[in-house]
């Protein structure tokens, strides 16, 4: 597939990196020559320097025979015009735009993006993705990662096993035998720096990070099995009153089970806007790293602190300060992948990488109808893919044990007629089933073949 990626920043670079590794024909466009040079020097891509919204630049990038344009520059307006030019001038059939300004996403103005107006096929909103990720972290405080599958009927949850875990030194096969009615599968296991697709005889040890796919109805029981608690967060402090922080605070204060929310914003105008927008939340104007202000916000009684400013260093340092002053949990927004490793070393409980979320969302749409969801784990180490079984695929009417999954891939969940099922070797997959597959990055192309997501489909 031939794809033009507009914007060579972190998001564009990661998209180009991922798609080029899957042997797609990628051209990356950016107005900054140094960013284009970095992409062409490190990735198997072509590069064009210029404004992506200019027809001459898109033509130079090969828009006349491109299958898709992904507009992920820093400017919403450039992204929108790029999609319009790609459609009107070059007839590109698939156009994806990243839009950050929430007013563009107001349902009242949805007509704007109709084909006869501004033809954008898919809109990706990083703020919405990050807000939803933050809310999931708050809902499951003992998890370092949470993602929904099967429309929320199953959850992928990341857990760190500590010395008190009741099932240490237990093999995964024994785990299934001990809890036969527990609808759960261990999808991935990280021991040290390595993420693997575990085998039935692999045992669990203290310090392991595991990813489990669990029926939403069994989450509390699954947490108990692994020695975790599933408690409700009643007091939440949000630091950062921008689009993301305000969206999270607004959703939290409207939860059916009331959550007491306080928000700290350094910029006075933003703080005033947040105070006007929120009904039951308390807004404080000041520095989120100020110990006195944190004490005033009741940090020692806070269940969770969400660090959602647009500065990674502020988020990390404020998280450390909040934990030192008694906050039970700190969840930090981290944009720079190079700083992710610092989060664990600094005692931060969980982090949210908006760029990884954006790339995951885009990949879901790049692979189109058969793949319903793609979620990246780690630094592009693995994917957890939700897909539909089609009648022509290699999965349809096949017994699970007979399917030629690559060594680094596992079938970890099946949904049939809306009911979550734990897969077994004797299970026969049927047309229309939804499946969730864990796959190490190197094995994703083989999984795509099994799903028959081919170039011709696009």
pTM (2 decimals)? Answer: 0.84
Distances (CA, A) of 25 to 66, 84, 409: 9, 22, 25
Residues 451/443, Cβ–Cβ less than 8 Å? no
Q: Tens place of pLDDT for every residue, the chain, 458 residues?
A: 899 999 999 889 989 998 898 788 999 999 999 999 999 999 999 999 999 999 999 999 999 999 999 999 999 999 999 999 999 999 999 999 999 887 888 788 877 887 778 889 889 988 888 888 888 888 898 999 999 999 999 999 999 999 999 999 999 999 999 999 999 999 999 998 899 999 999 999 999 999 999 999 999 999 999 999 877 788 999 999 998 899 899 989 888 888 899 999 999 999 999 999 999 999 999 999 999 999 999 999 999 999 999 899 999 999 999 999 999 999 999 988 778 878 878 888 889 988 888 888 888 777 654 788 999 998 789 999 999 998 888 899 999 999 999 999 999 999 999 999 999 999 999 999 999 999 999 898 889 888 874 444 43
Q: Which 3 state secondary structure label does DSSP give 237?
A: strand
User: Is-contact 61 95, C-beta < 8 A?
Assistant: no
State residue 343's pLDDT score: 83
Structure confidence by residue, pLDDT tens digits, 179-195? 999 999 999 999 988 99
Q: Which domains does the chain have, with CATH numbers?
A: 2-124 (3.40.50.720), 130-225 (3.30.70.1450), 235-352 (3.40.50.720), 362-457 (3.30.70.1450)
Quote the strand ranges of 297-447, DSSP E.
304-307, 330-333, 350-352, 371-377, 382-388, 409-416, 419-421, 434-440
């Amino acid at each position: 597939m031939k794809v033009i990626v507009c914007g060579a920043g972190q998001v564009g670079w990661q998209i180009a990196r991922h798609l080029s590794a899957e042997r797609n024909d990628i051209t990356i466009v950016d107005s900054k020559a140094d960013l284009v040079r970095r992409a062409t020097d490190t990735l198997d891509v072509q590069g064009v320097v210029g404004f992506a919204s200019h027809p001459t630049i898109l033509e130079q990038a090969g828009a006349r025979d491109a299958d898709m344009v992904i507009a992920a520059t820093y400017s919403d307006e450039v992204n929108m015009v790029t999609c319009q030019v790609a459609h009107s001038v070059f007839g590109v059939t698939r156009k994806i735009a990243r839009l950050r300004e929430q007013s563009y996403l107001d349902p009242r103005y949805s007509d704007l993006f109709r084909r006869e107006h501004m033809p954008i096929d898919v809109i990706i909103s990083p703020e919405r993705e990050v807000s939803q990720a933050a809310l999931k972290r708050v809902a499951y405080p003992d998890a370092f990662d949470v993602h929904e599958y099967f429309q929320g009927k199953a959850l992928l949850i990341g857990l760190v096993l500590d010395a008190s875990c009741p099932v240490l030194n237990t093999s995964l096969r024994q785990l299934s035998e001990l809890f036969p009615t527990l609808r759960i599968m261990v999808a991935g296991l990280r021991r040290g720096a390595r993420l693997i697709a575990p085998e039935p005889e692999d045992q669990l040890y203290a310090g392991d990070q595991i990813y489990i796919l669990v029926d939403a109805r069994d989450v509390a029981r699954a947490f108990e099995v692994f020695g975790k608690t599933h408690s409700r967060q009643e007091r939440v402090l949000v630091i950062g009153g921008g689009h993301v922080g305000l969206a999270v605070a607004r959703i939290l204060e409207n939860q059916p089970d009331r959550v007491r929310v306080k928000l700290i914003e350094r910029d006075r105008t933003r703080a005033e806007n947040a105070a006007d927008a929120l009904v039951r939340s308390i807004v404080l104007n000041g520095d989120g790293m100020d110990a006195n202000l944190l004490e005033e916000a009741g940090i020692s009684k806070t269940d969770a602190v969400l660090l959602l400013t647009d500065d990674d260093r502020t988020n990390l340092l404020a998280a450390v300060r909040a934990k030192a002053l008694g906050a039970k949990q700190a969840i930090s927004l981290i944009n720079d992948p190079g700083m992710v490793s610092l989060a664990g070393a600094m005692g931060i409980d969980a982090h949210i990488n908006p760029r990884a979320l954006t790339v995951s969302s885009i990949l879901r749409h790049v692979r189109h109808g058969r793949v319903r969801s793609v979620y990246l784990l780690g630094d592009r180490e693995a994917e957890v893919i939700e897909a539909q079984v089609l009648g022509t695929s290699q999965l349809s009417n096949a017994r699970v044990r007979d399917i030629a999954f690559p060594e680094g891939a596992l079938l970890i969940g099946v949904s049939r007629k809306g009911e979550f099922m734990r897969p077994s070797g004797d299970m026969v997959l049927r047309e229309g089933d939804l499946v969730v597959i864990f796959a190490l990055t190197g094995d994703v192309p083989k999984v795509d073949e099994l799903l028959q997501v081919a170039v011709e489909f696009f």
